[in-house]
A and B are shown apart, each in its own frame.
Chain A
């Protein structure tokens, strides 16, 4: 499987465009930007971006670094949102327990769905994940606790650890930001771990990894479970932020959207999915005035984006940087 994004970041390292010092400087700058942004931009919008960025980054761990295209990742985002919403609203759990419950359920779902799906590869893998996501969507429509078409509304945000009330948007933003950074760090570390190197070898040449003595299915499963769990964390956080959990997050549209974000931003790059998420959520948000045409516009952007920037925004940026040594 050819992953143009990863080739670019590899080349950027080799040519000294990315160096450890520059990388550190970049992450510090981004970190500070994340701290300052809510003072200038509407926090709920930013939190939405952070949730989707975490979702897309978790998805990229599979697509970009393991070579697995899941077409059912909405299952983890959506079900974690429902679980968190339910335990906060109906059972009155504190927010941290609610987030944990949603994440845990998504992780377990990942274990079950992943355990079955990794037995097949390519399009069959994608279809099995889609099939499971459709079943969960059906459950979300039918089960009483999800509120069916109406969804779960009015989820209380509560008080974090019994100390920090989350009703102020700015407070909530910094909590969400911390969750995002935690999730992002887990993904970053996974990519750059001994485990991550085995994943890459599986993506690059699965039979060869097998012939070197790696039980590739077990590695794929662990990657799938991590990805599902972090997608769940994103879904749980989103439910806490927006105070509702609806069918939208379980719908296969969401599974498609995350593919789109990842490809648009640059699969197999660390920052690509976040950039893609920013672009897609921004379009969703600021184009909502044009009604149904949003879909057409996003579709067009995607087609043009993939045709013109095959490496994704981040991949293209790294490619351009080659020609402008600095």
Chain B
């Protein structure tokens, strides 16, 4: 772990061109260690595309991505995850027909190095249950350990997803709209949870809910039409006339 405040993730001129449509154009993003950084912007601004580019789910047309100072522009998604940069998805991403405990356990089992061992009994995974329950405890799901994930209410699914992500002990957490589709109470819970887990890591999140962002994030990057419109703390960004115009269309 490096010092707080140094760059953990950086993009230089990150561009994605879908056959002439520039979804992301020349984005220079700088995420500092130990911060909660938000990526906001109107629909279609390219937020999720940036996420997909960062986690290598799609390849950039040009530009570079540096993670902990290393160029990962051509890395594969699984490699990026193994280096400690783990993402969540816009729509809750659980393994629906696995139990809550199994969901987390799948994430924990890779470091055992037995994930290709098809001749070994799955009893060898039982040693992970303690750690899995600890993680579930953090998101108040320990009592639901044997529930099949598909049966959880939406907010709980997102909590499970977060526990699964934390199982990898990621250095950099990428959360794609963690409060999307949630009721008011669930939003409060998730915000507290993010604050809690961000104590030891860096978080980059896409978020629509501005009150969440105002409350939680030190730095905010506003995207519009694939380019950075403004950047800074909430107080500064929220009074920027260009941002206001992009969001509510205030006339000049």
Query: Chain A: residues with CB nearer than 8 A to chain B?
Result: 3, 6-7, 10-11, 14, 189-190, 192-198, 200-201, 204-205, 207-216, 218-219, 222, 226
B145-162 residues at the A interface, CB under 8 angstroms: 146, 148
B87 at interface by CB-CB < 8 Å = yes
- Which residue in A190, A204, A205, A212 is a CB contact (below 8 Å) of B118? A190
A211 lies within 8 A of B96 (CB): no
Query: What does the 1/0 interface line of B87-125 toward A look like (CB < 8 Å)?
Result: 111000111111100100111011010111111111011
Residues on the B chain within 8 Å of A196, using CB: 118, 122
Q: Determine if B55 and A211 form an interchain contact, defined as CB atoms under 8 angstroms apart.
A: yes
Asked if residues A213 and B109 are in contact (CB atoms below 8 Å), the reply is no
Residues of A within 8 A of B93 (CB): 205, 207-208, 211
Q: Are B76 and A192 within 8 A (Cβ)?
A: no
- Contact present for B116 and A201 (CB under 8 Å): no
Most chain A beta-carbon neighbours within 10 Å: one of B89, B94, B97, B124: B97
- Residues of B near A10 (CB, < 8 A) are 97, 99, 148
Beta-carbon contact of A205 and B95 below 8 Å: yes
Q: Identify the stretch in B77-85, B129-137, B196-204, B227-235 within 8 Å (CB) of chain A at 4 or more residues.
A: B77-85
Q: Is the CB of B98 within 8 A of A194?
A: no
- Cβ contact within 8 Å between B115 and A205: no
Whether B125 and A197, one on each chain, are in contact in the complex, defined by CB atoms closer than 8 angstroms, is yes
Contact of B78 with A194 in the complex, beta carbons under 8 Å? no
Interface residues of B (CB under 8 A from A): 55, 57, 76-78, 81-82, 86-89, 93-99, 102, 105-107, 109-110, 112, 114-122, 124-125, 146, 148, 164, 168
The answer on a CB contact under 8 Å between B82 and A213 is yes
Residue of A nearest to B123 (CB): A192
The smallest beta-carbon distance between A318 and chain B, in angstroms, is: 14
- Are B116 and A222 in contact (CB-based, < 8 A)? yes
Known: A204-B98, A207-B93, A212-B86. A197 touches B118 (CB 8 A): no
Pair A189/B168 contact, Cβ less than 8 Å: no
Nearest-CB residue, chain B, relative to A216: B78
**Contacts A/B (CB < 8 Å), 16 sampled:** A7-B97, A11-B148, A14-B148, A189-B121, A194-B117, A194-B120, A195-B115, A197-B122, A197-B125, A201-B106, A211-B55, A211-B86, A212-B106, A212-B110, A213-B78, A213-B86
Interface centre among B76, B87, B93, B118 (most CB of A within 10 A): B118
CA distance A197 to B132 in the complex (A): 15
- Closest B residue to A226 using CB positions: B118
Q: Are B96 and A204 in contact (CB under 8 A)?
A: yes
- Across the interface, do B97 and A6 meet the contact criterion of CB distance under 8 Å? yes
Q: How many pairs, one residue from A and one from B, have CB atoms within 8 Å of each other in the complex? A: 109
The answer on a CB contact under 8 Å between A214 and B78 is yes
Residue of A nearest to B95 (CB): A204
Cβ contact within 8 Å between A193 and B146: no
Which residues of chain A have C-beta atoms less than 8 A from B88's C-beta? 211
- Chain B residues with CB below 8 A from A195, complex form: 114-118, 120
Complex contact B102–A189 (CB within 8 A)? no
Bound-state Cα–Cα, A218 to B89, Å:
23
**Are B82 and A194 closer than 8 Å at their CB atoms?**
no
Contacts A211-B86, A211-B93 aside, 20 further interface pairs with beta carbons under 8 A come to: A6-B97, A10-B97, A14-B146, A192-B121, A193-B120, A193-B121, A194-B109, A194-B117, A194-B120, A197-B106, A200-B95, A204-B98, A205-B93, A205-B96, A208-B89, A213-B168, A214-B78, A214-B110, A222-B116, A226-B118
Asked, given contacts A200-B95, A201-B95, A205-B93, whether A219 binds B116 with beta carbons under 8 Å apart, the answer is: yes
Inter-chain contact B118/A193, CB cutoff 8 Å: yes
Q: Which residues of B are found within 8 Å of A190, using beta-carbon distances? A: 118-119
CB atoms of A193 and B122 under 8 A apart: yes
CA distance A6 to B89 in the complex (A): 25
Are A197 and B105 neighbours in the complex by a CB distance under 8 Å? yes
Cβ-defined contact, B77 with A210, below 8 A: yes
Known contacts A194-B122, A197-B106; A214/B115 CB under 8 A: yes
List the B side residues contacting A6 at CB < 8 Å.
Answer: 97
A197 to B114, CA, bound (A): 11
* A-side contacts of B168, CB under 8 Å: 212-213
What chain B residues lie within 8 Å of A197 (beta carbons)?
A: 102, 105-106, 109, 122, 125
Interface centre among A3, A193, A194, A200 (most CB of B within 10 A): A194
Residues on B with beta carbons closer than 8 Å to the beta carbon of A14: 146, 148
Q: How far is the CA of A216 from the CA of B121 in the complex (A)?
A: 21
A215 vs B110: C-alpha distance when bound (angstroms): 11
A208 nearest CB neighbor, chain B only: B93
Complex CA gap A296/B233 in Å reads 71
Contacts of B99 in A (CB 8 A): 10
B122 pairs with A192, CB closer than 8 A: yes
Whether the pair A210, B81 counts as a contact (CB closer than 8 A) is yes
B residues less than 8 Å from A212 (CB atoms) = 81, 86, 106-107, 110, 164, 168
Q: Which residues of chain A are near B120, meaning CB under 8 Å?
A: 193-195
Which A residues are CB-close (under 8 A) to B98? Answer: 200-201, 204
B114 (CB) vs chain A CBs: closest residue: A194
Q: How far is the CA of A196 from the CA of B109 in the complex (A)?
A: 12
Closest Cβ of chain B to A219, distance in Å, is: 7
- The interface centre, meaning the residue of A212, A214, A216 with most chain B CB atoms within 10 A of its CB, is A212
Measured CA separation A7–B150 after assembly (Å) = 10
Closest 9 CB pairs of A and B: A213-B81, A204-B95, A195-B118, A208-B93, A190-B118, A213-B82, A194-B114, A215-B78, A201-B106
